[in-house]
């Protein structure tokens, strides 16, 4: 859930294009790409798994509290890896099936909900925001639901407003609704005229959440449960409505103020939460400030099942799936570079073209990738996020990039760098 503006924090968006695809312009699939998980090629499964585990350990050695990797190349048993720093084991022994906060990958689910309602004729992507939220969005007569979903609305990103910062740091436990988050974002002047450019905006998804609740009369938590999680059997996937977890979960950490990398601004150096070993456990924070842009909880296994169902056409009719895959350039200077569809990103990697999303909230840096058909999936969690949010730790970034490259290639059944 992040923004590119260091004057604020950027927490729910996938702003991390740097790691995902070194071969793609810097605006690529942000952080997600930085940590995509890959699947192991059948002929060299043992070697690939060993190499991925080695790279995950190197990410931990570089400073990450923990790493989860799941790779399924569609040709055999998925590879699952859990590695963690020794000091974290007193809190929890990390396991492959642990729940974690998905951050901006929530947007993919919000897009699926909108497209499902569009298929039922209950709304249309061409609907102006004013049709559903009259007077709530300045210029809402010219902003369509499609623009909200593909980040071409021009709306200022609410995560850049100082009012959100205490919730990000866990020092303010107020409950944020989609309407309240939307109100924070629209206090600011739009960045550009609707439909003329691309700029990541969590505010657009706050508006989407408010529209979904207005159209259906149901809460977002109920919509995720009834329209996605239950039909797919995702037992550990839910829209969080508070701090509580429903199953075993990965602990998320950030360095305490004394150990925070110098590049992190002073306003973002003090987290609430239990402290030990130079870190703060932020897994008890309420992700409600992420709302429709970042409040979903899942696991690597559940997310793989979700992506496979989505891309194979089990969740949406063909017409709506085609709309989801219709992309706009994320950088006008590179029209053939990384693209953003409806709640989903895509980019060409040397090992194959991937689809997916990344997400970041304090303590949780996530990526979920798949191919166009859903036959191959990969997911990665790194249980710390601010080092990437503010590009504050080159050593950790380098280790993460190596893991990303290996994981992406493994997902496509291609040779993993360094594997025999």
pLDDT of the residue at 35: 34
pLDDT band at 46; cut points 50, 70, 90: confident
pLDDT digits (tens, 9 = 90+) for 388-403: 989 999 999 999 999 9
pLDDT of the residue at 60: 98
**pLDDT greater than 60 at residue 43:** no
Whole-number Å distance between alpha carbons of 300 and 253: 19
Span of 60-69, 151-160, 316-325, 385-394 with lowest mean pLDDT: 385-394
pTM, full prediction = 0.91
Whole-number Å distance between alpha carbons of 376 and 366: 17
**pLDDT greater than 80 at residue 21:** no
Count CB-CB contacts under 10 A for residue 120: 10
Mean pLDDT of the chain: 90
pLDDT digits (tens, 9 = 90+) for 81-116: 999 999 999 999 999 999 999 999 999 999 999 999
Span of 41-50, 60-69, 152-161, 368-377 with lowest mean pLDDT: 41-50
Report the candidate in 410, 349, 414 with the shortest Cα–Cα distance to residue 53: 410
Structure tokens at 397: 């970034």
pLDDT digits (tens, 9 = 90+) for 156-189: 999 999 999 999 999 998 999 999 999 999 999 9
**pLDDT greater than 80 at residue 366:** yes
Q: pLDDT: is 392 or 15 the higher one? A: 392
pLDDT digits (tens, 9 = 90+) for 285-306: 999 999 999 999 999 999 999 9
pLDDT of the residue at 19: 35
Span of 44-53, 76-85, 143-152, 376-385 with lowest mean pLDDT: 44-53
Q: pLDDT: is 11 or 364 the higher one? A: 364
Q: pLDDT: is 6 or 386 the higher one? A: 386
Q: pLDDT: is 164 or 34 the higher one? A: 164
- When pLDDT is averaged across residues 231-250 and rounded to a whole number, the result is 98
Q: pLDDT: is 42 or 367 the higher one? A: 367
Whole-number Å distance between alpha carbons of 163 and 221: 24
Strand arrangement, sheet containing 100-101:
100-101, 296-298, 238-239
Whole-number Å distance between alpha carbons of 389 and 13: 10
Going along the chain from its start, the domains and CATH numbers come out as: 17-411 (3.40.710.10)
Q: pLDDT: is 153 or 32 the higher one? A: 153
For 208, residues 6+ apart whose C-beta sits below 8 A from its C-beta are 110, 111, 114, 145, 148, 149, 292
pLDDT of the residue at 420: 52
pLDDT of the residue at 44: 45
Look-up of token digits 């919000």: 110
């Amino acid at each position: 859930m992040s923004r590119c503006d260091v004057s604020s924090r950027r927490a729910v968006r996938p702003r991390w294009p740097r790691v995902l695809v070194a071969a793609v312009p810097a605006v690529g699939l942000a952080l997600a790409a930085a940590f995509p998980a890959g699947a192991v090629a059948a002929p060299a499964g043992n070697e690939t798994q060993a190499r991925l585990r080695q790279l995950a350990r190197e990410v931990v050695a570089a400073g990450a509290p923990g790493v989860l990797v799941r790779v399924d190349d569609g040709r055999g048993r998925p590879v699952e890896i859990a590695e963690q720093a020794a000091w974290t084991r007193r809190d929890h022994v990390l396991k492959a099936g642990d729940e974690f906060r998905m951050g901006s990958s929530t947007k993919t689910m919000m897009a699926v909900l909108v497209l499902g309602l569009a298929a039922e004729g209950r709304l249309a992507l061409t609907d102006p925001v004013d049709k559903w939220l009259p007077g709530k969005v300045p210029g809402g007569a010219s902003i369509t639901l499609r623009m909200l979903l593909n980040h071409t609305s021009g709306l200022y990103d609410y995560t850049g407003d100082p009012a959100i910062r205490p919730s990000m740091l866990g020092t303010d436990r107020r409950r944020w609704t989609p309407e309240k988050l939307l109100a924070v974002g629209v206090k600011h002047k739009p960045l550009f005229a609707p439909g003329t450019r691309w700029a990541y905006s969590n505010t657009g998804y706050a508006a989407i959440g408010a529209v979904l609740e207005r159209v259906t009369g149901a809460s977002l938590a109920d919509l995720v449960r009834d329209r996605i999680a239950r039909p797919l059997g995702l037992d550990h996937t839910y829209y969080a409505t508070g701090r509580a977890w429903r199953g075993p979960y990965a602990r998320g950490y950030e360095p305490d103020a004394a150990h925070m990398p110098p590049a992190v601004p002073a306003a973002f150096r003090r987290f609430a939460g239990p402290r030990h070993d130079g870190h703060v456990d932020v897994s008890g924070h309420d992700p409600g400030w992420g709302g429709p842009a970042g409040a979903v909880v899942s696991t690597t296994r559940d997310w793989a099942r979700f992506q496979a169902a989505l891309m194979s056409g089990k969740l949406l009719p063909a017409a709506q799936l085609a709309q989801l895959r219709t992309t706009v350039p994320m950088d006008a200077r590179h029209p053939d570079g990384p693209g953003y569809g409806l709640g989903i990103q895509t980019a060409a990697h040397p090992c194959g073209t991937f689809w997916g999303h990344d997400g970041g909230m304090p303590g949780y840096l996530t990526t979920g990738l798949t191919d166009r058909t859903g036959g191959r999936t990969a997911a990665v969690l790194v249980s710390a996020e601010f080092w990437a949010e503010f590009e504050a730790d080159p050593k950790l970034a380098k280790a993460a990039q190596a893991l990303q490259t290996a994981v992406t290639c493994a997902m496509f059944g291609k040779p993993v760098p360094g594997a025999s």
